[in-house]
A and B are shown apart, each in its own frame.
Chain A
Amino acid sequence: MSTLAELAMVYAQLSLLAFGGANAVIPEMQRQVVDVHHWMSAHEFASLYALAQAAPGPNMMVVSLVGWRVAGFWGALVTTGAVAAPSSVLTLLVTGVWYRFKDAPWRKALQAGLQPVTAGLIMASAALLIHSTTVDWSAAAVTVVTACMFIFTKLNPMLILGAAAFAGAIGLAG
């Protein structure tokens, strides 16, 4: 199977599993891209994730970047399209019937059931990313310090990310 077809398969599947958005499927994306298809190393995947965070737009951007890295311009179009199409078709179909089932008990039950699963998935994404970005003690220090800033201060997240990159560039961290 060609690489583009493989990318399309991987990301079309991720599309329908992404309950809670792209961040929930980061572990599976990493498993597919790194362990199953050997397109890149775990560290390189984490770098692409970081790069995607520095760009504007939805937090799906890591998808386009992985496609671009693996198969160039067409790779980016294929992964972006593949991750969007199945969930978009589903959204298109479901919006039509949504209001009819607004108060249905099964819908409320499903929504309540998905909530903790989503939370666990995103926590798993964070743990796996931290595992691959912690290459040495100073990277660990950056994670701890910036995590405290994200959690306990109201600073603009872009400011914190920028400060971390700057500290790394001048050799204070990283």
Chain B
Amino acid sequence: MNRCMSEIRPRPGVFELFAGFFVVGVCGFGGVLPWARWMIVERRKWLTQAEFTEMLGLCQFLPGGNIMNVTIALGSRFRGVRGAVASFLGLMTAPVAIVIGLGAVYDQYGGLPPVRRAFVALAAAAAAYLLATALKIASPLRGRPLAIGVATCTFVAIAVLRLPLQAAMPVLALGSTLLLWRFRT
């Protein structure tokens, strides 16, 4: 399991893992990925860039939050289950506390017209941000009609027909894998 780890760099302890990911959680406005990469590769040098990219690839391939999975994969690689738990708690503690604080503030003042209007506009912009992210994620599909067809089917199944994801996901994932494998270039 530790095959790819460099022997030269020091192995972080449980507390260091917590502290490192705590900083990532606090800093990660508008997405934690850039901060996680900076902390792991540049600041603490726990992994090389290549090792990080490979770990991220695995974590994107698995279900669950990508960086959340990175805390588990990296923590367990250095310090087993305890390391995974410490990294995860480091990442999540501050953001969960902050978001609940924001929720409480919104509950208190959300009825005021300027606050309410601000939130209507913020919600519209947040949805637009997700649209821009979706386009970025879909951009590697350009020029691949089969992949675009699969993405369109997925979109229609979920957004238009509103099929339950538990039923649709296995069919879509398996169908897509077989189809793209059969017609691979």
> Is B140 located at the chain interface by the 8 A CB criterion?
yes
Beta-carbon contacts under 8 Å, B134-185 to A: 134-135, 137-138, 140-141, 147-148, 150-155, 158-159, 162, 164-166, 169, 172-174, 176-181, 184
The total of chain A residues at the interface (CB under 8 A) is 102
A109 close to B95 (CB less than 8 A)? no
Q: Closest approach, in angstroms, between the C-beta of B33 and any C-beta of chain A?
A: 9
Total A-B residue contacts, Cβ distance less than 8 Å: 350
Residues of B within 8 Å of A140, CB to CB, are: 124
Taking a contact as CB atoms under 8 Å apart, the answer to whether A47 and B119 are in contact is yes
> Contact check: which of A56, A115, A156, A171 meets B140 at CB < 8 Å?
A115
Contact with A along B42-79 (1 / 0, CB 8 A): 00000000000000001111111111110011001100
Q: Find out whether the CB atom of A64 lies under 8 angstroms from the CB atom of B124.
A: no
Scan residues 55-77 of chain A and give those whose CB is less than 8 A from a CB of chain B. 55-61, 64-65, 68-69, 73, 76
Q: Contacts A90-B64, A116-B141 hold; do A125 and B134 have CB atoms under 8 A apart? A: yes
Give the complex CA separation of A60 and B180 in angstroms. 30
A14 to B96, CA, bound (A): 18
Residues of A within 8 A of B181 (CB): 109, 112-113
Q: What residues make up the interface of A, taking CB atoms closer than 8 Å to B?
A: 13-23, 25-28, 31, 46-61, 64-65, 68-69, 73, 76, 80, 83-84, 86-88, 90-92, 94-96, 98-99, 109-130, 133-135, 138-140, 142-144, 146-147, 150-151, 156-158, 160-161, 164-171, 173-174
* Given A57-B32, A68-B100, A91-B72, 16 additional A-B pairs, CB 8 A: A18-B63, A49-B123, A57-B94, A58-B68, A58-B95, A65-B99, A83-B65, A84-B65, A92-B84, A95-B77, A120-B154, A121-B158, A122-B134, A127-B155, A168-B121, A174-B124
Show the binding face of B for A, using Cβ within 8 Å.
1, 3-4, 25-32, 58-69, 72-73, 76-77, 81, 84, 88, 91-92, 94-96, 98-100, 102-103, 106, 114-115, 117-135, 137-138, 140-141, 147-148, 150-155, 158-159, 162, 164-166, 169, 172-174, 176-181, 184
